[in-house]
């Protein structure tokens, strides 16, 4: 996995300053992470439990493993949030302003 640099001048164009843009992207990343958690929990809860022994914890459930691998292949929330910010897909406003 390679590291992709982000031009801070491009980020700065999307908000009043770089710090504000980073806060907006961080809040969006938290929202995405929460959505991923809810989706993952919903998918895992549909998998039937196959073992009843406490000693059988070492045996992996293939359905759960498949779901986990699918979620690992997705873009990470912070990467996706920065991409949305740079594309102008994030709308934000100050709490005190209407």
Q: Taking all residues of the chain, what is their mean pLDDT, rounded to a whole number? A: 85
* Domain residue limits at 42: 8-46+60-87
Mean pLDDT of 4-21: 87
Does residue 12 belong to any structural domain of this protein? yes
Does residue 42 belong to any structural domain of this protein? yes
Q: What is the pLDDT of residues 40-74, one digit of tens each?
A: 999 988 887 766 555 555 567 788 888 889 999 99
Does residue 51 belong to any structural domain of this protein? no
Tell if the pTM clears 0.85, that is, is over it: no
Does residue 96 belong to any structural domain of this protein? no
Domain total for the chain? 1
The yes-or-no verdict on residue 31 having pLDDT over 90 is yes
Mean pLDDT of 5-29: 89
Does residue 2 belong to any structural domain of this protein? no
Does residue 97 belong to any structural domain of this protein? no
Does residue 83 belong to any structural domain of this protein? yes
Neighbour-count burial of 21, counting CB atoms closer than 10 A to its CB (0-12 exposed, 13-18 middle, 19+ buried): buried
Does residue 70 belong to any structural domain of this protein? yes
For 56-73, letters b (16+ CB in 10 Å) and e give eeeeeeeeeeebeeeeee
Q: Determine the pLDDT at residue 17.
A: 87
Measured CA to CA, the distance from residue 68 to residue 44 in angstroms comes to 9
């Amino acid at each position: 996995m390679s590291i992709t640099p982000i031009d801070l001048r491009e980020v700065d164009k999307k908000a009043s300053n770089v710090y504000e843009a980073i806060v907006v992207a961080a809040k969006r990343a938290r929202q995405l992470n929460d959505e991923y958690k809810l989706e993952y929990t919903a998918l895992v809860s549909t998998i039937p439990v196959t073992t009843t022994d406490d000693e059988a914890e070492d045996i992996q459930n293939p359905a759960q493993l498949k779901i986990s691998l699918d979620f690992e292949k997705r873009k990470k929330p912070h990467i996706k949030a920065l991409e949305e910010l740079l594309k102008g897909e994030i709308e934000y406003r100050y709490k005190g302003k209407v």
